[in-house]
Amino acid sequence: MRYDTLVIGAGFSGLAAGIRAAMFGRRVLVLERHYLWGGLNSFYKRKGRLFDTGLHALTNCGLRGAKGTPLGRLLRQLRIHPDQLQLLPQGYSELRLADLCLRFSNDPELWLENVTRAFRKQADRFLELHRTVGSLDIDRIEDPAASARAKVEAQLGDPELADVVLMAPTFYGSAREGDIDWDQFVMLYRAIFHDGLAQPEGGVRPLLQLFLNRLAECGGELRRKAGVERLLVRDGRVYGVRLEDGEEIEAEHVLSSAGWVETMGLLGPELGAAHLRPEDRATMTILETISVLDRPPKDIPGPNPLAAATVFFADEQRFAYGAPKDLCSATHGVLSVPSNFAAPASGPTAEPTLRATLMAHPEAWHTLPPERYGDEKQRWSERALDLVARLYGDPRPYEVYRDVFTPRTITKYTGHDRGAIYGSPTKHRGGATPFAGLYLIGADQGMAGIVGAGLSGATIVNLHVLNSEVA
């Protein structure tokens, strides 16, 4: 069997790539190793309840119709109307660094007011950085892999303010410990603080279904339970794949969203290993606790109402992003409260939930003895909720169900090396690999966030499959 384009992985980058290629008459097959699609941004069922994974918030369109926003660009590339997303905007979100609490919303002025009030001496330097980041052309950034921390600290002249500015973009998409690539910082800072956050009505499932429907409309195919065992290579060119059931499928182009390390692994040790370095392996992963509650989190009594849609927190004087020394970090993470986004016109349709995410150590979780795994999973879940209780109020008396996933869970269901959520620290921005016919899309291509993943798929198709014949 032969196709024009094979896409490995039915996450947002893979689906977007499949749609974009199929729109122009290419015969496209998207391969997904699991029964469900979505990759890191998917869903699952436990005890009759459906849970989202990955998606905490989608970067909003900003000003309606603004052509420069990444989401607007993606929707035009895929010919999806913005109204089809059914976006519910945030009320506000919070960034907490030690005793400092700053709010931001989809109105950039709230962020500017909060930061300039807290850092009066550096206000002019901060406003200049904010304007500069908003004016840069994402597609023409010089030295994209440069250290964003170095650039931000040099501009602001205040390490604490630099932590504030870097925290949310870094949590949202950086694969680098202690830092974030400059182009990814620019994209994510703008996405969060210029354009704002929203959540699709119904969570990730309707959004994925929209992409699936669009793929089918364009004539693309999706095959589930079709894991790739091996990439097929001849004379330095990848010409297809062998599936885990032994079937071989040939194609002119193979696009992989599996990740750099994982894709090289599909070439076999004699070919792929020669192109891997120790520093290519990912270190950033998470443990997440999902608490289903009998009331909205904002109604839980405590020192502060949990009314923010998203909370980025570092319960220390400095923001220290990286794999913790212990199994998890007890001080750094993200809280997500879906019910604190705008309510659908029809009213709430799901039980209130709270998602508490901690940074985790990839190697420690994967080497944990089986007899300790369950106890440690529960222990760190409790520590995450201890932190919620101290900052806002204790959700545990109001829990009706709880689920927890770890780096091992992520590896099991996505195949990502060591449970990586942001891929390899080494990005391949042009999408090319050392093998003709094989291209990277997704996190390791270099675009960050869910919108960035979709743009990655569409962009690499334009560049390598359609050969820039369309804009």
What is the per-residue pLDDT for 296?
95
Strand partners, 87: 200
Q: Which of 440, 59, 469 is CA-nearest to residue 254?
A: 440
Encode the chain (471 residues) as per-residue pLDDT tens digits.
899 999 999 999 999 999 999 999 999 999 998 877 777 777 777 777 777 777 678 775 554 445 567 888 889 999 998 888 888 899 999 999 999 999 999 999 999 999 999 999 999 999 999 999 999 888 888 888 999 999 999 999 999 999 999 999 999 989 999 999 999 999 999 999 999 999 888 888 888 899 999 999 999 999 999 999 999 999 999 999 999 999 999 999 999 999 999 999 999 888 888 898 888 888 899 999 999 999 999 999 999 999 999 999 998 889 999 999 999 998 999 999 999 998 887 766 678 999 999 999 999 999 999 999 999 999 999 999 999 999 999 999 999 999 999 999 888 888 888 888 888 899 999 999 999 999 999 989 988 888 888 999 999 999 999 984 444
Find how far residue 178's CA is from the centre of its chain. 18
CA distance 200 to 208: 10
What is the per-residue pLDDT for 471?
43
Helix (H, G, I), strand (E, B) or coil at 319: coil
DSSP class of 54: S
What is the per-residue pLDDT for 60?
59
What is the per-residue pLDDT for 349?
66
CA angle 244, 250, 255 (to 5 degrees): 80
Which amino acid would we find at residue 394?
D
Residue at token pair 């094989």: 438
CA distance 424 to 283: 8
What is the per-residue pLDDT for 78?
94
For the chain, helix, strand, coil in percent to 5 are 40, 25, 35
pTM above 0.85, yes or no: yes
69 backbone dihedrals φ, ψ, rounded to 5°: -75, 145
> Please, which residues have CB within 8 angstroms of residue 246's CB and are 6 or more apart in sequence?
none
DSSP class of 432: B
76: buried, middle or exposed (CB in 10 Å: 19+, 13-18, 0-12)?
middle
